[in-house]
């Protein structure tokens, strides 16, 4: 049996860290990734593979996927977890801050999918789990930018699911509630 290989973005805390631990417990070779090395120190101390990966930096995303593919051939599972919530009235948020929200929550997620899909197609299998939010199903005052980004994740995930199913690739959206 070949090794199952997972890449988890935003693994330094919360859902990402829990995902890494669950996957390792299930026998996956799992790469914990994050923007800052210090956020991954616990994993390093435990001998869990880590990579620096910032979903707003195209070169770090490409380098992480390339390193895993060079070692294992492909990423079998991508957990697109990196993200954050921007809060404040739409009228008062800067366009730059809203762009950063979308760069992190949407465009980084999309680019990570694009980077792992060629290897998954070659293998004829794979799974992508996009971490959306229950906040992608409604909108609340004071969190319009966040909700809009999570609505976008829902739409991209739904489209991608149909686009890659015939290649043996499953695309899954999870919609957690508040995470602390």
Residues annotated as part of the active site? 146
Please state the φ and ψ torsions of residue 46, each to the nearest 5 degrees. Answer: -90, 0
Query: Terminal CA-to-CA distance of the chain, rounded, Å?
Result: 37
Q: Which two tokens stand for residue 151?
A: 């609505």
**Sequence-separated (6 or more) residues with CB below 8 Å from residue 117:** 126, 164, 169
Residue with tokens 């004829």: 124
The strand pairing partners of 170, in sequence order, are: 127
To which residue do tokens 């390792």 refer? Answer: 24
Instruction: Tell me which DSSP letter residue 105 carries.
Output: I
């Amino acid at each position: 049996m070949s090794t199952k290989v997972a890449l988890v973005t935003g693994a330094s805390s919360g859902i990402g860290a829990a995902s890494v631990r669950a996957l390792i417990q299930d026998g996956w070779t799992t790469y914990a990734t994050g923007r800052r090395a210090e956020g991954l120190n616990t994993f390093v101390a435990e001998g869990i593979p880590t990579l620096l990966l910032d979903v707003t930096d195209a070169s770090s995303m490409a380098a992480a996927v390339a390193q895993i593919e060079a070692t294992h051939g492909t990423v079998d599972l991508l957990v697109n977890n990196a993200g954050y919530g921007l809060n404040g009235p739409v009228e008062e948020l800067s366009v730059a801050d809203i762009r950063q929200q979308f760069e992190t929550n949407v465009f980084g997620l999309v680019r990570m999918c694009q980077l792992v899909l060629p290897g998954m197609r070659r293998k004829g299998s794979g799974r992508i789990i996009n971490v959306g939010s229950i906040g992608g199903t409604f909108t609340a005052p004071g969190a319009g930018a966040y909700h809009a980004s999570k609505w976008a994740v829902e739409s991209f995930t739904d489209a991608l699911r149909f686009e890659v199913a015939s290649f043996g690739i499953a695309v899954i959206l999870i919609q957690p509630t508040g995470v602390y």
